[in-house]
Structure 1
């Protein structure tokens, strides 16, 4: 009777805790988006040059003073800085991302075309990195001292390799020397292999180091010893217990990892001539295309916030000991 009363007392708190968790995530996401929009607004305006010239096609357009003045008036660039800032925040809050200075089309249209290729690239990179990290973690904990040393060395080296160097090596080996894969990204699955591996390999080295330590601890833990005492094979202990515990830190780091892949996409998409947000962001910064830079940065930040929330939720589902807070 006392137990039932206690359970009834505790049960209303669970939805409340989940609601607080959701509100906390939503509030944190709004703050991140505001901070990104503010940093982009003031950061771009600190770059030398006149935004009106970017609107008119750049310094080489030889636009007249009257045309530049008209562009400033049309886009509100002749107003005080604080008026421009709050005006932009209001437009962003209402979903108006503006029109790209360089492309002369709505930023929302540009994002609708470029977001899917980048999300596919980052998503596949995260999946491949997870598979590589788990394989390295299993090899380093199950293959003896020599195999462990080799796997650990591969993890350390791969985590320190920069994307631009790795991409160059992969192109020289698999495209130029062997001719197995195209040197630039194409619409075929083969065109995705080198960009995905370039993104995934450094991340796999980092995740592998974290998973290896957790897996080694899990294999020496009391529940693993108890499973072996019940007659469980080493493969069974690995699949049913060790891999689950090794995946927990990887799940917790998946949000950060996805953000790292989005930043790495700037380099990878440029090297492999792949359309996407990263390559467009680099071009937009060069052209001082303020609306496009802001739109790409906000969409990337929004994707990062969502993935962070999903990774947090996945960690709570994978480990029942972590409850809503």
Structure 2
């Protein structure tokens, strides 16, 4: 009977936690849609011009007036906002004002490019961070000092400057890699490095201290007493302990990579959500801007939930705290 009660209790807590996360995700998406709606209207200009070719279209007042009436832009701002929320609740992202194409279709065409870029960048950032953290903690004081400096330098590099340096070195000087996207793996290397290096600096910073602490922790001392090698301690215990804060940070890192795609995709002429967003903001394409931002926010929420679950799996103490809460 006790086991049944405990199982039921845990199930209720799990459902409550999932429900709270889903409500939080809905709130985030609503907040993003609201901020985007009002922010895009703070940009000087008439949003009706987006339907007629953009700010430089020199459309007549009669044409602008027809567009305002057709798309409800002549209504009070609050009415426009409520109408947009209603469409979003029905799953209708609308039609791009500048491309005259359903926003969902544009997102479907561009989303995979940005997800590949962000996912590959996060993977490379983890590899670089793990290598740097392990080297700086196992090489003595000199390696620790050098590693700390590299982490700080990498984390502080601006993306546009780093992209320029990488293009100058590997494309212009050495001729090893193309300076723009070519649609194959070679055209992905420089954009990935541009996004991954700063993130690797942040991840290595949060890994290094837990990795040092793990080497002197009771579980490490006990494992060493049982004959575990130094490499075994690192691989079986140290990295798992050090990866927990980095996994928690990975959700933020993915959001950083998605936002950084605006700069990187523009510099490397790579198709994706970032480049699409920049073009949409330039012409005040409200439906497309809203769709891209909501899609990015949804991807961020999903990755945050995944990172939270992964951290709970990696850290048994976290599961115990959640169970006793």
Q: Name the TM tier (shorter chain).
A: over 0.9
The structure 1 residue matched to 2:11, chosen from 15, 19, 30, is 15
Please give the secondary structure, in 2, of the residue aligned with 1:253.
Answer: helix
Counterpart residue number, 1:76:
72
Counterpart residue number, 1:187:
183
**Bigger mean CA deviation after superposition, 119-128 or 138-147:** 138-147
CA distance in 2, matches of 1:149, 1:88: 53
The structure 1 residue matched to 2:112, chosen from 111, 116, 129, is 116
Counterpart residue number, 2:91:
95
Q: Which runs of 5 or more structure 1 residues have no equivalent in the other structure?
A: none
Q: CA deviation at 1:52?
A: 1.1
Give CA-to-partner distance per residue, 1:146-166, whole Å, 9 cap, x none. 222221111110000010010
CA distance in 2, matches of 1:270, 1:89: 30
Q: CA deviation at 1:132?
A: 0.6
The structure 1 residue matched to 2:308, chosen from 306, 309, 312, is 312
Q: Given the alignment of the two structures, is residue 237 of structure 1 paired with residue 233 of structure 2, yes or no?
A: yes
Q: Given the alignment of the two structures, is residue 29 of structure 1 paired with residue 7 of structure 2, yes or no?
A: no
Counterpart residue number, 2:174:
178
The alignment's TM-score, normalised by the length of structure 1, stands at: 0.97
What pairs up with 1:94-243 in 2 under 5 angstroms? 94-243=90-239
CA distance in 2, matches of 1:53, 1:174: 41
Q: Which runs of 5 or more structure 2 residues have no equivalent in the other structure?
A: none
Please give the secondary structure, in 2, of the residue aligned with 1:321.
Answer: helix
CA distance in 1, matches of 2:113, 2:140: 41
The alignment's TM-score, normalised by the length of structure 2, stands at: 0.97
**Bigger mean CA deviation after superposition, 95-104 or 233-242:** 95-104
Give CA-to-partner distance per residue, 1:15-66, whole Å, 9 cap, x none. 1111111111110010000001100111111211111122111233222222
Please give the secondary structure, in 1, of the residue aligned with 2:183.
Answer: coil
CA distance in 1, matches of 2:60, 2:230: 77
CA distance in 2, matches of 1:242, 1:64: 68
How many correspondences in the alignment?
A: 321
